[in-house]
Structure 1
Amino acid sequence: MRCAAVVAAAAAVLGAAAPAHAVILTTFVSVTQGITLRVGSAGGTVDEVTFDVSNADVAPSPGAVTGGGVGAVLVTVSADKTGLFSPSTVTLTASSAAGLPCITVTTCASTVIPFSSIGWVSSNLDTGTNAGNDIQTGSFNGSASQQLAQFGLPNFIQTFLQGSSRTQMSNTLTFSYANSTLYPAGSYQGRVTFTAAMN
């Protein structure tokens, strides 16, 4: 059995992205208000993480399978804020509700593997004042709007004193397939869509 989890990004791109220097970092610069989301490779490429479940991973003692393909996936959100009454919070969500349907119908028919079978280890976690606000190690829950991260932007006083700001969050996710349920042999493929919003 082979599972392919396609990692895709849906982003509102209203400003240019800054280079990553830390997990959640705010700099005060002259910017135009907007938000940028990047998941995986640049240039509109949709990255694919694959899980090859075979041999000892099938029986008698199946264990978790580490993702192949692109390997680790970088997730970066950059939020540019201007003005005293502009947005104050950035939220990153993921939609994995469609699961991973069988694409070799002669062997696995209409079977769908839920995305809750796929988890990740997050690296480059913030250990400062934003600890716990970036993407923590976890797994998809199969919903249409799973919150993965939420962090604040500079407050009223900071914006008044410093002016425009850019806040960037960056985590690297390494995926694995739980392999806790035996599904019919075949290939399965699905897509997760990430969305970043400011409010």
Structure 2
Amino acid sequence: MVQAWYMEKNWTGDQREEHHKQPPEFIELDKLYKLSGVEYFQVNHLNPSSDEKLKSLKSNRGYTYEDEITCSKECLQDYEKKLKIFFEEHLHTDEEIRLVLEGSGYFDIRDTNDDWIRIKVEPGDLLIIPKGIYHRFTLDSNNFIKAKRYFIGEPVWTPYNRPADDMDCRQEYLNLIKSF
């Protein structure tokens, strides 16, 4: 099951390490949503097409396209370059929906105070990262993740690196967060 915690400020070293504050400050799932709008669901990763929660999410949110991505040294062309790109702070104009099938990694998101929260994802974890939130992704020290990606309509992967505060999706996100 997903774990989330505040990251230490001004950390150095490998981005694939946990980077806990000292002492560690874990975040409960309901608080994670209130701090960021990020939603979490546990899904049957061994047979996602039979999972009723996933079927409901796809239907209710209009997810009509899906694919799979595998991130590892062996499977991802330009592996080191891609990891650096994924780890640049950015936002998207659409939700980012990921279901982890195998492996593990970290999604880092900004909370309402602009502090980093690290979310560790493992098989069965499905995250919905709202459009307009600053975030980034990295593998953990296992260097492997396989995930399903869901989209409304045709896939859009365009990242807008920070600063992108003048974008409509960013302003919509900030208004959404104020309502929590």
TM-score by length of 1: 0.27
If asked which structure has higher relative contact order (CA below 8 Å, sep 6+), I would say 1
After TM superposition, the score normalised by the length of structure 2 is 0.29
Q: Which has the higher helix share?
A: 2
Please say which structure displays the higher CA radius of gyration: 1
Q: Which has the higher strand share?
A: 1
